[in-house]
Chains A and B, each alone.
Chain A
Amino acid sequence: MELQAVLMAAGGGSRMTDLTYNTPKPMLPVGNKPLMWYPLNLLERVGFEEVIVITTKEVQKMMATDPKMKIDVKMKLDVVCIQEDGDMGTADALRHIQQKIKTDVLVVSCDLITDVALHEVVDLFRAHNATLAMLMSNAHEFTETVPGQKGKKKTAEQRDFVGVDQSGKRLLFMANEADLEDGLSIRKSIMRKHPRMHIKTGLVDAHLYCLKKAVVDFLADNKSISSIRGELVPYLVRKQFSKTTNSPKIKDDAENQNQKTNDSSTNHELLISSRDEPLLQLAQERSCWNDHRGDMSEAYHGGKLRCYVHIIDQGLCCRVNTLAAYIEANRLAPKLFEEPAVHPSAVISERCQMGSDSIIGALCQVADKTSIKRSTLGNSTTVKEKVKVTNSIIMHGVTIEEGCNIQGSVICSNAVIGRGADLKYCLVGNGQRIEPEVIVTT
């Protein structure tokens, strides 16, 4: 087997607590499908047959009852439950399932919605025999006003600095603004090997990583690393250029037999060589290819640890971890699939004006003289007469009484909006009841 897929669905959604305090983040409806359906669908389309899903018991229960997950996902899901206390980072979760990992892993986060051609990332991983290959996207600004936020959006206070080489594929430098005290400092060894580096700040990390099996084994021994994105990736990127990893160690046959036993020093663990290292060396020596030119060193500067990144410019790649992203995703996600906008079991009266970019869920009831534009209606929602819904996201089981005017809002599940209420850019929580004749604006 070449790659094992791992879906991280235990995250709490700490940046959108308004939405997630009742519904766990992986099950939030986006375009009337649970959020974790999207990465699972991506893996299924590409050809995976089994996925290890790391999640909480609550999500597992919800997964079992959700019709979309049961019917549409044909892969075998191996659900591993962990505690919900939130202390477990993504790297801790990987360490937890280390026994199940038999080969290289593809780690995906549950909040990734993308239509990227996954083979581009995996090809980088395969062709260059990389230790890490990840996916990033050139982010675009969110144009919609986010409900519940006063004033203009805060600019991102914690930028990520990503340094790539000239080809745009090799990852040279990665740091978060929070970790850099005075300024960005780049080691001389990196500059000597890659004199031309492009540093980008506007990239969105898609949290999709291809990791070598040796990295998972390394994690098992280094219990101090708890987050893949926050700690493991910067560590690997730094280690590419550390002095000890650059001396090629050709292990003799005796050592090759027991690959599983790790060396005492951390440096060598990541460089577990394959059994035929001399042959690979010979092939590389005889090959007339080099990944850089201008200096005297061989391909990859003789380094064994390599990190690659695939940056996409076009196409959809969004991570639903903030409210703004959630709204954006709701608008864009349905365009990924060719499903009918109106679910066949929904009851829509003829005198209803429905825009073409609205989505109506199953078992909805929409009465006369309503207008639904650029909105998503969840399952089992009831909309009475003379209601105007524009640019909003209505989740499951909501009741909207007559004469309401809802604009740019997010209404969570099982809420009741009283008669004649006027909501502009609001966020109504789960099970809330808005009194009739209420006007709520920003």
Chain B
Amino acid sequence: MADSGVTDEPGTKDDVHRAKTEGKELSKEEKQRLRKEKKQQKKNKEKKDEKASHESEKKKNKEEKPVSAAAPASQPPTQPSTQKAPSAVPAPAPVPVPVSETPALADKPAKTKADLKAERRARQEAERASKQAATSKPKAPPNELQPVVKRLPEHVQVDNPGVLKKLAKKLERQQIPLRLDYGYKVSLFSHLHQYSRKAPLTQQLSIPSTVIHPAIVRLGLQYSQGIVAGSNARSVALLHAFKQVIRDYTTPPNEELSRDLVNKLKPYISFLSQCRPLSASMGNAIKYIKKEISNIPSQCKEEEAKRKLLSCIDCYIDEKIILAAKAIAKSSIEKISNGDVILVYGCSSLVNHILCEAFEKNIKFRVIVVDSRPRLEGREALRRLVQRGISCTYVLISAVSYILPEVSKVFLGAHALLANGYVMSRVGTSQIALVAKAFNVPVLVCCETYKFCERVQTDSFVSNELDDPDDLIVTRKGKTQLEHWQDVPSLGLLNLVYDVTPPDFVDLVITDLGMIPCTSVPVVLRVKNVDQ
């Protein structure tokens, strides 16, 4: 066994050496190949004698201590665990191994402790990833509906210093400044970020921004100042900025567009999420773009690839936003009849579009716009509807139970539809749905399929967004009561942005795939995943 190891080593050592000279990272294929081989070896040799493996270990330790993460295939399986032994508890490893290792260390001063640790960590991660890949590889043929395990975004954990440190390190690596939290946070939401609009991220960037593309800086500013707000608007603006990035992109020499462009987009996405947390629709759009970029064949010329990507983006916007809106409007108009009194909340671009379309079709209805502080987005919805000629009533959310007896239907927009059927929308939506349910008024949620998200949550606490608390400060009759709220130690201002509505309160979800009940959202997600 030791002999076979020796003969195999030079070949794999060359590979590894080549990899080391090119850079510590081995390509995906090489890693997978090596992982597979290691697995094979593991299966074969687990049954063999351990003592023999220890002996070969000692030999291997002396010779192969400095070898990098992708261990040569012929290494005995227990070696990785014993090489980790010096740092971890050496319980599984036999006692003589550390002794044999110290002369090995002395023999090979080439690698420092830090390098060894890095190798070990990389190997651990490789193994972990290989295990994940093994479980998540669809073993069945594609037409069988197997659930594809996707990597869900990590939960925001601002009150966990370890996670914060990791985030800070990641941002530092990408050369993006870290935005500091502002003000006292209510304890239930202390795991979320809370930023101040008066401290934009551009304060810490150089003015002719070189690290981040100017279109992305502009977009980030527009997000943080609220100039571009609303799920659809944010996605469209994001795709527009990405189009500019792609246009200005040139592939550096010795790099492939499919890999390099994705890496270029990562710091931009971090920057945007620092300006304002990404919405579900934006997340899906980014996933789509990354997939399209990675699918570009390597022999494709740069100009052609760029053109293809730009047309993909246009296509995505056309299909998922513009045409979807048309389809949803068509289905919704069937639900609006003459004499209806429709209640809408806040300013949803889709609901406004539906109502305007219905008005064009000469259906006689009137609208009640419900609004809430501090955003007061209903005023904008009111303006758009009245401009078309629709007769509207305007109330604040505190009056919703007063006005509900007049209402025949409630149309709500959604920020995202979660995998368990919950609707994530502007804060206040769940309240309206609840009251409507109490009054037996049908609640219809309109949402495009690209906003469907695999996340699951049942409450509005675990994942939300905290807006600037200073927005709650208002001046009435010359007096600003909350002006010095920071000085009062027991006072916290909470400005939530989203809340989740349980599916029991929603009667129908109108999507571009048709009108589905709220509980069918996971089915749509499943079908979508198989399509992709």
Q: Bound state CA distance, A43 and B66, in angstroms?
A: 49
Q: Is A46's beta carbon under 8 Å from chain B?
A: yes
Tell yes or no: A129 within 8 A of B by CB. yes
Q: A285-B349, A296-B383 are in contact. Are A126 and B217 (CB under 8 A)?
A: yes
Q: Name the distance in Å between B451's Cβ and chain A's nearest Cβ.
A: 13
Give the complex CA separation of A285 and B64 in angstroms.
63
B210: chain A residues at CB < 8 Å are: 1, 47
Decide if A288 touches B243 in the complex (CB within 8 Å).
no
Known: A47-B206, A47-B207, A126-B221. A283 touches B380 (CB 8 A): no
Counting CB contacts under 8 A, is A128 at the interface? yes
Partner of B387, one of A47, A128, A288, A296: A296
The CB with the most chain B CB atoms within 10 A, among A128, A282, A283, A288, is that of A288
Q: Which of A1, A4, A119, A283 contacts B203 (CB 8 A)?
A: A119
Q: What distance in Å separates the Cβ of B405 from its nearest Cβ neighbour in chain A?
A: 28
Say yes or no for A62: interface residue by CB 8 A criterion. no
Stretch in B224-232, B327-335, B524-532 touching the partner? B224-232
Q: Assess the B233–A279 pair: CB atoms within 8 A.
A: no
With a cutoff of 8 Å between Cβ atoms, the chain B residues found around residue A49 in the complex are 208
A337 within 8 A of B: no
B240:A279 contact, CB within 8 angstroms: yes
Query: Whose C-beta in chain A lies nearest to the C-beta of B384?
Result: A298
Given the known interface contacts A46-B206, A296-B383, A296-B387, the answer about A287 and B228 at a Cβ–Cβ threshold of 8 Å is: yes
| Bound form: Cα–Cα A3–B377 in Å | 34
Nearest chain B CB to A213's CB is how many angstroms away?
12
**Is A284 part of the binding interface, using a Cβ–Cβ cutoff of 8 Å?**
yes
Contact B227 A2 (CB under 8 A): no
Report chain A residues within 8 Å CB of B383: 290, 293, 296
- Report the bound CA distance from A286 to B451 in whole Å: 15
**Given known contacts A286-B236, A290-B380, is B227 in contact with A119 (CB within 8 Å)?**
no
B229 and A287 contacting across the interface, CB-CB below 8 Å: yes
A117 within 8 A of B: yes
A127 at the interface (CB under 8 A from B): yes
Is B379 on the interface with A (CB-CB < 8 A)? yes
The smallest C-beta distance from B63 to any residue of chain A, in angstroms, reads 50
Report Cα–Cα, A112/B92, bound state, in Å. 72
Q: Check A123 for interface membership: any CB of B closer than 8 A.
A: yes
A122 beta carbon closer than 8 Å to chain B: yes
Q: How distant is the Cα of A370 from the Cα of B230 in the complex, in angstroms?
A: 70
Determine if A118 is an interface residue (Cβ-Cβ < 8 Å): yes
Nearest B residue to A122 via CB reads: B207
B207 near A127: Cβ-Cβ < 8 Å: no
A46 to B204, CA, bound (A): 9
Which of B203, B217, B228, B236 is the one whose CB lies under 8 Å from A2? Answer: B217
Specify which of A126, A280, A296 is in contact with B386 (CB 8 Å cutoff): A296
C-alpha spacing A280/B236, complex, angstroms: 8
Chain B neighbourhood of A288, CB < 8 A: 229-230, 233, 346-347, 349, 377, 380-381
- The complex places the Cα of A109 from the Cα of B377 at a distance, in Å, of 42
- CB contact list, A254-305 vs B, under 8 A: 275-276, 279-280, 282-290, 293, 296
Tell whether A48 is near chain B: CB-to-CB under 8 Å. yes
B515 at the interface (CB under 8 A from A): no
Bound complex: CA A91 to CA B47 (Å): 85
Q: Tell me which of B200, B222, B227, B380 has the highest count of chain A C-beta atoms within 10 A of its own C-beta.
A: B227
Chain B 237-257 per-residue mask, 1 if CB under 8 angstroms from chain A, else 0: 101100110010000000000
> Are B208 and A3 closer than 8 Å at their CB atoms?
yes
The answer to whether A119 touches B229, judged by C-beta atoms less than 8 angstroms apart, is no
B175 within 8 Å of A (CB atoms): no
Judge whether B239 and A279 touch: CB under 8 Å: yes
Contact with A along B385-412 (1 / 0, CB 8 A): 0110000000000000000000000000
Cα distance A72–B229 in the bound complex, in angstroms: 44
Shortest CB distance A441–B (Å): 48
Whether A47 touches B317, Cβ cut-off 8 Å, given contacts A127-B225, A288-B229, A288-B380, is no
- Distance in angstroms from A250 CB to nearest chain B CB is 14
A87 to chain B minimum Cβ distance, whole angstroms, is 32
Chain B proximity mask over A105-132: 1 for CB below 8 Å, otherwise 0:
0100000000001110011001111000
The reply to whether B228 and A289 contact each other, CB–CB distance below 8 Å, is: yes
Measured CB to CB, the closest approach of chain B to A313, in angstroms, equals 15
Closest A residue to B348 using CB positions: A288
Whether B202 sits at the interface, judged by CB under 8 Å, is yes
| Complex Cα–Cα for A122 and B429 (A) | 37
CB–CB B229/A1 < 8 A: no
Residue of B218, B230, B322, B387 near A126 (CB, 8 A) is B218
B209 adjacent to chain A (CB < 8 Å)? yes
Determine whether B517 belongs to the interface, using a CB cutoff of 8 Å to chain A.
no
Q: Bound complex: CA of A296 vs CA of B214, how far in Å?
A: 32
Tell me the A36-93 residues at the B interface (CB within 8 Å). Answer: 46-49
CB-CB under 8 A from B222, the residues of chain A are 127
Q: Mark A386-428, 1 if CB is under 8 A from B, else 0.
A: 0000000000000000000000000000000000000000000
- CB-contacts of B291-321 with A (<8 A): 317, 321
Distance in angstroms between the alpha carbons of A92 and B226 in the assembled complex: 38
Distance in angstroms from B294 CB to nearest chain A CB is: 24
Complex contact B207–A283 (CB within 8 A): no
Contact digits for A1-30, partner B, Cβ 8 Å, 1 yes 0 no: 111110000000000000000000000000
A128 touching B227, Cβ below 8 Å: yes
Nearest chain A CB to B520 CB, angstrom units: 26
Per the bound structure, the CA–CA distance linking A1 and B209 in Å amounts to 7
Task: Provide the bound-state CA to CA distance between A287 and B377, in Å.
Answer: 10
Smallest distance from the beta carbon of A287 to chain B beta carbons, Å? 4
Contacts of A48 in B (CB 8 A): 206-208
Give the docked Cα–Cα distance between A122 and B217 (Å).
Answer: 11
- Which among A47, A119, A279, A293 is the interface contact of B243 at CB below 8 angstroms? A279
Most central of B234, B236, B244, B379 by chain A CB within 10 Å? B236
7 A-B pairs closest in CB distance: A47-B206, A288-B347, A287-B233, A286-B233, A2-B214, A286-B349, A283-B237
With A123-B200, A283-B237 given, can you name 17 additional A-B contacts, CB distance below 8 Å?
A: A2-B208, A3-B208, A46-B207, A48-B207, A119-B202, A122-B207, A127-B218, A280-B240, A282-B321, A283-B228, A284-B228, A286-B232, A289-B228, A293-B383, A296-B383, A296-B386, A296-B387
Pull 30 A–B residue pairs with CB atoms less than 8 Å apart, ordered by A.
A1-B208, A1-B214, A5-B208, A46-B206, A47-B205, A47-B210, A48-B207, A49-B208, A123-B221, A126-B217, A127-B218, A127-B221, A127-B225, A127-B227, A129-B218, A275-B247, A276-B243, A279-B236, A284-B228, A285-B349, A286-B230, A286-B232, A286-B236, A287-B229, A288-B229, A288-B349, A288-B377, A288-B381, A289-B227, A293-B383
